[in-house]
Structures are given as C-alpha cells and as structure tokens.
Chain A
Amino acid sequence: MTTPDFAALKKDFPILQTERHGKPLVFLDSAASSQRPQQVLDAMDYAYTHAYANVHRGVYGLAEAATNAYESARLKVARFIGAPDSSEVIFTKNATESLNLVAGSWGRANLGPGDAVVLTMMEHHANIVPWQMIQAEKGFEIRWIPLGDDGKLDLTELDTLLDGAKLLSVASMSNVLGTINPLDQLIEAAHRAGALVCVDACQSVPHMETNVAEMGADFVAFSGHKMLGPSGIGVLWGRMELLEQMPPFLGGGGMISNVTTDGFMPDAVPSKFEAGTPPIVEAVGLGAAIDYLESIGMDAIRQHEIELTAYAMRALSERLGDSVTIHGPSEPSERGGVLSIDLEGVHAHDVSQILDSHGVAVRPGHHCAKPLMKELGVNATARASFYLYNDTSDADALVDALADAQSFFAP
C-alpha cells in the first residue's frame, strides 16, 4: 500500500480552509472533537435531501431507504471495530451515554454492597461520574489504579486492586496525557480476577486500529464526533450474552416488543437499548467517516500521528527549553497525539487566548479529568491534539504562538 499524502488531506475539510483573526485556522483540538471532511457532510446532506424518514416499521419506500442506511451504518461500525456480531453495536448519543448505559443498566443490576468497581486516576469524568451516581444508589466500593512515572499507570498493586472486583473500567488512551494504557495486561488481570472490563475507547478508536474481539474487553465505548463523524452519535459495543441479560436503559418507543397497561416486554438487542428516534442521519455520517478513515488506513493514520507528535515535542523543547512541560509519556510511540502543555509563567487560559489570536485552536482547562489534574498538581493545562489532517506546519504554528505567549507575559 502506498503512503497516503497527508498534506493533501486538509483540502477535504472545508473548515480548515477558513481563517481566524485573519490567519489560517490551525485546528489542534481534535481530542475534544474532530472536524469532518466534505464526504461526511455530503453523505448527511444526501440523506436529509433524498432518503430521510423515521427508521423501522415504516412500509413506504423512503422509510425503508432510511432504515437501510441506518442499519448499514451499524454494519460498517461493526466491521470497523471487528465486532463478531453487528447486533452488538448499540448507537447512543455519545461515549458518555454509552458509559452511562453500562453503569445504569449493567451496574444497577449487578452491583451492591461488598462489590467493587476499579477505575484509574486518569479517567475522564465520563468514566467516573456514572459510577459514582450508581455507587450512591447501590453502595459498592470504587478503587483507583494510581498514576506512576512518565504519565503511566502504576500497576504494581493491580492484582490486589482487582481482588473481588466485579468490573474494571479504563480509558484506552488518556485524553490529558496521551498515555496508551496496556489493555492486554489490564484485561488479562481483570478476567483472571473474575471482573468484567469496560473500555472508554474515545481517544483511541479515531486514531488507531481497533479490534474488540482481539482486545477481549466486555464493553467498549466511543463517540462519532471525535472520528470525523457528526456530533450526536456514539457507540457502545458489548458482548452479546451480557447485553442480552442487561435490563433496558432508557424506556420509550423502539425498545419494546410489547406494551400493555400492566407493563412492557423489551425488544431484542440492540433495539432494547435504542429508545426513541435514534440519530439516523448521524449514523449515516458516522458510516461515511468510517469509509474515509478506511480509505486512508488506520495504521497509516497512527504512524502519521506518531511522527507529528515526535516532531512537535522536539520543536517545543528546542524552542522553549525548560519553560515548557509536556505531561505524559516522553516516548511518542507510547502515546497518542495529545500534548498537555504547561508554559512557565503563563496560565493555560491565557496561553489559549494568545494562541487564538494566531488562529491556533487549543483547549485550556482540566479536560474533564479533575482527579488526574489534582494528582499532576496543576489546575489547568493547554492541550494541543493532532489528527490526520494536521501536519508539521500546524506544529510550527503552535510553537511560534507559544513563544509569542511567553514573550507577551514576560515580566
């Protein structure tokens, strides 16, 4: 396979042709939400213009076309993540809802006093708060895998932490540190201890090859909008025998097989978990995003991002020296393209403001990971994150703008 021309990809993304404050937009916030190519916009536009009706149950041709488009998106997602059965792919609103589904359905049915759920210190709030909400109701214990050196998890007490636990829920990649967690080791240890494993794969599915069957997890959650798809759609993949046993999460139309004045019978998986009109055109958009990603190749995307991250880390340290701290693993191949930056003497919020005046979009704050930030001893970082449409010119713009922020705030 020939190496894709990443520099040429930018032209597929209309928003990347625009300017901010008279400067070309340098978009470095894809870890929060990516941009989308014309192909995704066209697919959604076509669906709304030519093939839109509510899905399922309609007998007219348009309803059938919409249902086919929605269900073929499910097939694409299943193939993309290596799901053995496309019915194991549940469409949600976003990864947050997917994790709430696991906590609210599986957690509420299976957790009680004396039980334990194991999380890590680098989780996003989306993989913390849903468990705390069910904990308040059910009274189980939450244990935390601590942070070790170089932005990695400290696994020395892993077996003790997993002892007697019913579930481990862990991010595949930290949205703050970029750390790629050792899922093989974590899943093997959890299963040995008799615990299920839920993976918050929001930060990894868009950026590297994912195969849920090989991964061996029990649940995997991710969002469409971080992988060139639209906002408003997320995915929960789960093992069929677990999904079949779980009670419904949200109630309403579409998730029942029968309703009487006395009660209801839930429908089969995945309909059981898709109450109400689903994100129909969003699913079509996600399908088109997957087509786009596959046309480039996930391994090529990963390689491009490793090279770009290495380039940016080197450029930052050469230009700004000790005044810049990048949190997380120092070795680019052990991390994703997420750089959480501390610039000495300038608060992250001010950094981001100055960068914006250069057209450079980065995100300041705690990145919805307050326990981790407390552990790192910072209350905010400026986070720059790369995706397939970024190149070394974007990294150069970042470094230039940071140098300007530093001189602006120099005493």
Chain B
Amino acid sequence: MSDLEDLYREIILDHYRSPRNSGELEPPAHKAEGFNPLCGDEIVVYLQLDDDNTIADIKIGGQGCSISQSSASMMSAAVKGKTVEQAQELMGSFKGLMSIADKGEELAEPTPAEIRELGDLAALRGVVKFPTRIKCATLAWNTLDQAISETQSAD
C-alpha cells in the first residue's frame, strides 16, 4: 500500500463523504470552535452531557479537508455514549497514535487494546507519515477537549 493510499483509506473517505453526527445542538449544549490556522480547517463541536457526565449527544459542524472532517466524524461516533473520562482516555490513545505526547507525558505508543478501542479511528494512523496533516487529524479532538473544559468550568 502506498503512503498515499495509507493516508486516504476507504473508511476515511467514507466518513468524509457521509459524516456521522453532523449538525448543531441548541443550548444548553456546549459549543467549542477549533481552527487550523495553517490550512483554514474549522471544526465546531456541540456537546450535550447528562447528569452522570456521559456524552448524551454530540454534533459536528465546520468545514475542512478529508482528514479533519473524517477524524471529527469518527471521533463523534467513538465518544457518543461514553463518559467524559472515557472520552479523555480515548483522546490520549488517539494522540499516542499520532505520536503526540500529551501534557508533558512521555510519548507512548498505544497498546493493542487501546487500538482496538479506537475502532475506525485507527485507520488514521497513516497520517503520521504526513506530519503536516497531524494537525488536521487532531483538530476535532482538541476542539472536543475545549468543549469538555467549558462544561467543567460552567458547573
């Protein structure tokens, strides 16, 4: 498989063409916007938590390249119904997959169990060979992180 085919796996193109959880949520859902200043990608994450800190609903807006949009789509499918803590763990695994050490932690390759947990998202691992695209893949997650922080500070 060429690097390019590895980058644009069929499952990524599928999420790009048919994004999951696309749309908006009305307040009191929390909203966060993320921008990739280099290429102009924009992601809007709408986040609805229920009383026990579970992600009851999530919607994705914005526009951008296939990597940023498919990553957002996959992320929304992966975190919906999970607790905030579980979503944050997934975020850690995903960033590990992208070779990003989070918050001063040592860089850790995700374990096979973590990769299984990532599901469709593991298809994005080909992005690592294209360093400029890592920001596209992580934009949705950083925006989700921002939305979660806002739910915590709003409490």
Q: Give A contacts to B, CB under 8 Å.
A: 347-350, 353-354, 357, 364-366, 370, 373, 379-380, 408-409, 411
List of 7 A-B pairs having minimum Cβ-Cβ separation, nearest first: A349-B65, A347-B65, A380-B40, A366-B40, A365-B39, A379-B40, A349-B39
Give, as a whole number of angstroms, the nearest-CB distance from B31 to chain A.
Answer: 18
Measured CA separation A379–B4 after assembly (Å):
24
Contacts of A348 on B, CB cut-off 8 Å?
Answer: 39-40, 65
The answer to whether B38 touches A353 (Cβ under 8 A) is: no
Q: Name 20 extra pairs, CB < 8 A, besides A348-B39, A349-B68, A353-B130.
A: A347-B66, A347-B69, A348-B40, A350-B65, A353-B7, A353-B133, A354-B4, A364-B65, A365-B39, A365-B40, A366-B39, A366-B40, A370-B40, A379-B40, A379-B63, A380-B39, A380-B40, A380-B64, A380-B65, A408-B8
Task: Mark contacts of B18-39 with chain A using CB atoms, 8 A cut-off: 1 yes-contact digit, 0 otherwise.
Answer: 0000000000000000000011
Measured CA separation A146–B133 after assembly (Å):
34
Give, as a whole number of angstroms, the nearest-CB distance from A140 to chain B.
Answer: 27
Measured CA separation A85–B91 after assembly (Å):
60
B17 at the interface (CB under 8 A from A): yes
Considering the complex, give the chain B residue whose CB is closest to the CB of A370: B40
A–B pairs, 29, beta carbons within 8 Å: A347-B64, A347-B65, A347-B66, A348-B40, A349-B66, A349-B68, A349-B133, A350-B66, A350-B67, A353-B7, A353-B130, A353-B133, A357-B3, A357-B4, A364-B39, A364-B40, A364-B65, A365-B40, A366-B39, A366-B40, A370-B40, A379-B40, A379-B41, A379-B42, A379-B63, A380-B41, A408-B8, A409-B66, A411-B17
The answer to whether B13 touches A349 (Cβ under 8 A) is: no
* A-B CB contacts (within 8 Å), total count: 51
Q: If the complex has contacts A348-B65, A379-B63, A409-B13, are A353 and B4 also in contact, measured as CB distance less than 8 A?
A: yes
Measured CA separation A366–B65 after assembly (Å):
13
B136 at the interface (CB under 8 A from A): yes
Task: Mark contacts of B113-142 with chain A using CB atoms, 8 A cut-off: 1 yes-contact digit, 0 otherwise.
Answer: 000000000000000001001001000000
Measured CA separation A254–B69 after assembly (Å):
51
Q: Give B contacts to A, CB under 8 Å.
A: 3-4, 7-8, 13, 17, 38-42, 63-69, 130, 133, 136
Considering the complex, give the chain B residue whose CB is closest to the CB of A368: B37
Contacts of B4 on A, CB cut-off 8 Å?
Answer: 353-354, 357
Q: Which of B4, B40, B64 lies at the interface centre, i.e. has the most chain A CB atoms within 10 A of its CB? A: B40
Measured CA separation A380–B136 after assembly (Å):
13
Contacts of B17 on A, CB cut-off 8 Å?
Answer: 411
Measured CA separation A354–B7 after assembly (Å):
11
Give, as a whole number of angstroms, the nearest-CB distance from B121 to chain A.
Answer: 19
Give, as a whole number of angstroms, the nearest-CB distance from A405 to chain B.
Answer: 11
Measured CA separation A350–B67 after assembly (Å):
8
The answer to whether B38 touches A365 (Cβ under 8 A) is: yes
Measured CA separation A350–B39 after assembly (Å):
11
Contacts of A370 on B, CB cut-off 8 Å?
Answer: 40
Q: Which of B41, B67, B68 lies at the interface centre, i.e. has the most chain A CB atoms within 10 A of its CB? A: B41
Contacts of B38 on A, CB cut-off 8 Å?
Answer: 365
Contacts of A365 on B, CB cut-off 8 Å?
Answer: 38-40
Measured CA separation A373–B64 after assembly (Å):
14
Contacts of A380 on B, CB cut-off 8 Å?
Answer: 39-41, 64-65
Contacts of B64 on A, CB cut-off 8 Å?
Answer: 347, 349, 379-380
Give, as a whole number of angstroms, the nearest-CB distance from B37 to chain A.
Answer: 8
Q: Which of A347, A354, A366 lies at the interface centre, i.e. has the most chain B CB atoms within 10 A of its CB? A: A347
Give, as a whole number of angstroms, the nearest-CB distance from B71 to chain A.
Answer: 12
Give, as a whole number of angstroms, the nearest-CB distance from A358 to chain B.
Answer: 10
Measured CA separation A379–B42 after assembly (Å):
8
Considering the complex, give the chain B residue whose CB is closest to the CB of A366: B40
Measured CA separation A353–B66 after assembly (Å):
11
Give, as a whole number of angstroms, the nearest-CB distance from B18 to chain A.
Answer: 10
Contacts of A411 on B, CB cut-off 8 Å?
Answer: 17
Considering the complex, give the chain A residue whose CB is closest to the CB of B13: A409
Measured CA separation A353–B12 after assembly (Å):
15
Considering the complex, give the chain A residue whose CB is closest to the CB of B63: A379
Considering the complex, give the chain B residue whose CB is closest to the CB of A364: B39
Give, as a whole number of angstroms, the nearest-CB distance from B137 to chain A.
Answer: 12
Q: Which of A365, A366, A380, A411 lies at the interface centre, i.e. has the most chain B CB atoms within 10 A of its CB? A: A380
Give, as a whole number of angstroms, the nearest-CB distance from B132 to chain A.
Answer: 9
Give, as a whole number of angstroms, the nearest-CB distance from B73 to chain A.
Answer: 14
Give, as a whole number of angstroms, the nearest-CB distance from A370 to chain B.
Answer: 8
Give, as a whole number of angstroms, the nearest-CB distance from B70 to chain A.
Answer: 11
Contacts of B63 on A, CB cut-off 8 Å?
Answer: 379
Contacts of A409 on B, CB cut-off 8 Å?
Answer: 13, 66
Measured CA separation A364–B3 after assembly (Å):
20
Measured CA separation A364–B41 after assembly (Å):
11
Measured CA separation A78–B121 after assembly (Å):
57
Considering the complex, give the chain B residue whose CB is closest to the CB of A354: B4
Give, as a whole number of angstroms, the nearest-CB distance from B58 to chain A.
Answer: 22
Considering the complex, give the chain B residue whose CB is closest to the CB of A347: B65
Give, as a whole number of angstroms, the nearest-CB distance from B44 to chain A.
Answer: 13
Contacts of A353 on B, CB cut-off 8 Å?
Answer: 4, 7, 130, 133
Give, as a whole number of angstroms, the nearest-CB distance from A388 to chain B.
Answer: 28
Contacts of A366 on B, CB cut-off 8 Å?
Answer: 39-40
